[in-house]
Amino acid sequence: MAKLLPRRDAVIIGLGWTGSIIAQQLAQAGLNVVAIERGPWRDTPTDFNIGYMQDELRYGIRKELFLQPAVEAMTMRNDASQTALPMRDYGSFLPGNGVGGAGVHWNGHTWRFWDSDFSIRSHLTRRYGAKKIAGLQLQDWGATYAELEHCFDRFEYLAGISGKAGNLRGRIQPGGNPFESPRARDYPNPPMKMSYAPTLFAQKARELGWHPFPTPSANLSRSYVNPLGVRMGQCTYCGFCERFACANYSKASPQTCVLPVLMRQPNFELRSECEVLTVNLTPDGKAAKSVTYIDAKGVEYEQPGDMVVLCAYGLMNVRLMLLSKIGRQYDPVSGKGTVGRNYCYQTSSAARLFFDSGKTFNPFIAAGSLGQTLDDFNGDAFDHSALGFVGGAGFNCVLTNGRPIGYRPTAPGSPRWGAKWKQAVVDGYQHSTGFSSQGSSYPVRQNYLDLDPTYSDRHGRPLLRVTFDFPDNDIAMSHHMSDQMEKLAKVYGAKVATVSRLKKGWDSVPYQSTHNTGGAVMGADPKTSAVNKYLQSWDVPNVFVVGASAFAHNAGMNPTGTVGALAFWAAEAITTKYIKSPGALVPA
């Protein structure tokens, strides 16, 4: 029998970016808030100490900051004809674990999805006709970019993003991204100082008439105090961002932006190392009454709450909804149901260039978002009329690291052992560079999430099953991107240049991207979306589900900036609308 605890105004599940933002906003509005986090407490001075944080073996290879399959695994398959098998180790993507979540170990690319993304079906139909997107399950998001713009702004100023505006209130700005949607003001900090690799990338891109600009970065270009009064430091270009926490207080994360204020709120409580098993509903299934969780000692508790906010990693949000019977499971055969619908990933390719000793890149001078990007081929920035696909990709030259274990580029045909291999490593380390495309992932009926009928976790609950393969549309898009990358690689005049090409058959073993999206998508129609425009469950109105799980598709950009904006958007709806009049904010 679970121990019954005193009721709280709000129960938040997960304390990463979304959980910390919403907890801070709700506590500031006077609500009694409790956050329940499965992983351990983590803080910069005690857990990310400068004396040991740059330990590549511990964090980069052995993945100490990440979720382990023994805690929660998933099964995967490429299509419904296959039997899904468990991922014995997380490879293709790396969910975070502990307070801060994936916001601890991310690189820091911080994008705004475009206006056309939020109305993607309407936009593409209007420009190309409905036939162009036949076979894709694209849908509008229910909220518009114009509605969300101030929330993007709030997240960028909370995180101290370094960048250069390209479109200020409709006026294109020199040096910024000319394809971005209008913003009300510039980034809070100027762009990072560029190293040689991204500087050369920008030079070569301009030779082709393209439009490179500094990558918007959560690695701070200067010291900064955010609107909560939290002081952050300037990036030291150490090259330990992805897979690592920042010991220098210079990479935006919940620890460096929100928690120093949130943890002091008298009406907020964190319970770490406590795993939520289910959200308990009333007998009619129309309201959440409590959550059941188990602590590190195995003691089971029931925490009642007036509202429940799911703020876990996107895939975990979907699984918890399915386990708790919040909404109807999506059926790819009939197309009915919404929970698990429109699962999307990221569609990427890469170029690697090798030079003689005349070009030295010093890859150890690095940061997670130190780079240049071009969006000439992203989204619908270019005309798709004569092309057999929709969607696109950003091209990024971002020098994230030159770490000794993981960074050993060698030219094709190099020996794989011995003295000549060692020399190839030396040559490749200093005299090679690269860039990549990060492409959109568009939904199709047969890519979805559900509960596995065979495999269960240590508590006896079914694992989440991922059914996914790259759609034909996205393969064609990615090949077009590779064609453009080959044009750019040729301009470099490298001794050797390689450009990868995406193939059918998603493989969950090699790392690709942690940008999983969808499964609890937002929208205006309860028949095709699990949550409304405010991230509120259509079926259980006192449940909000916040994160990349709400994305109706994935754009050719990192999701975190849009996730942060949606967190502020949902928090604003809760504090200005819901708590004044609890119930559905949008009529079903």
What is the band of 341 on the pLDDT scale with cuts at 50, 70, 90? very high
Residue 228 in domain: no
CA-CA distances (angstroms) from residue 322 to 4, 129, 249, 389, 542?
Answer: 24, 35, 37, 33, 16
Cβ partners under 8 Å of residue 409, min gap 6 = 352, 354, 428, 429, 432, 434
Which SS3 state, helix, strand or coil, does residue 62 take? coil
Paired with 219 in beta bridges are: 251
Mean pLDDT score, 139-168: 98
DSSP state of 500: -
Report d(CA 166, CA 180) in Å as an integer. Answer: 7
Residue type, 460: G
Bridge pairing between strands 171-172 and 517-519: unpaired
Residue 155 lies in a domain: yes
Supply the DSSP string of 22-57, one letter for each residue: HHHHHHHTT--EEEE-SS----HHHHS-TTTTT-II
Is it the case that residue 474 has pLDDT exceeding 90? yes
Q: Is residue 487 part of a domain?
A: no
**Closest by CA position to 544, among listed 332, 377, 306:** 306
Q: How far apart are CA 160 and CA 137, in angstroms?
A: 36
Based on the structure, what is the number of domains in the chain? 1
Q: Which of 251, 255, 248 is nearest to 101 (CA)?
A: 255
**Predicted pLDDT of residue 211:** 98
List, for residues 575-584, the tens digit of each pLDDT value: 999 999 999 9
Q: How confident is the model at residue 1 (pLDDT cuts 50, 70, 90)?
A: confident
pLDDT tens readout for residues 193-239:
999 999 999 999 999 999 999 999 999 999 999 999 999 999 999 99
Decide if 366 is inside a domain.
no
Which residues are known catalytic residues?
Answer: 515
Closest CA to 394 of 228, 585, 226, 166: 166
Tell me whether residue 355 is in a domain.
no
User: What pLDDT, on a 0 to 100 scale, did the predictor assign at position 51?
Assistant: 86
Query: Could you tell me if residue 578 is inside a domain?
Result: yes
Where do we find the tokens 């050719």? Answer: 556
Q: How far is CA 573 from CA 26, 76, 125, 288, 338, in A?
A: 11, 35, 30, 18, 22
**338-350 residues labelled b (16+ CB within 10 A) or e (exposed):** bbbbbbbbbbbbe
What residues make up the domain containing 576? 1-79+89-162+245-343+515-588
CA dihedral 560→562→564→569, nearest 10 degrees, is -170
Residue 554: predicted pLDDT: 98
- Burial label for 90, CB within 10 Å (0-12, 13-18, 19+), is buried
Phi, psi values for residue 122, rounded to 5°: -60, -45
Q: Where does residue 4 rank: exposed (0-12), middle (13-18), buried (19+ CB within 10 A)? A: exposed
What's the pLDDT at 49?
Answer: 87
C-alpha 12/C-alpha 268 separation (Å) is 11
In a domain? residue 407: no
Q: Provide the mean pLDDT of the chain.
A: 97
Q: At what angle do helices 17-28 and 560-573 cross, to 10 degrees?
A: 30
Q: What is the CATH number of the domain that holds 570?
A: 3.50.50.60
Residue 164 to residue 364: CA distance in whole angstroms: 25
Confidence (pLDDT) at 309: 98
Asked whether residue 219 is assigned to any structural domain, the reply reads: no
**Alpha carbon distance 503, 501 (integer Å):** 6
- What tokens does 126 get? 């209007």
Has residue 52 got a pLDDT over 90? no
Q: 50 falls in which pLDDT band (50, 70, 90)?
A: confident
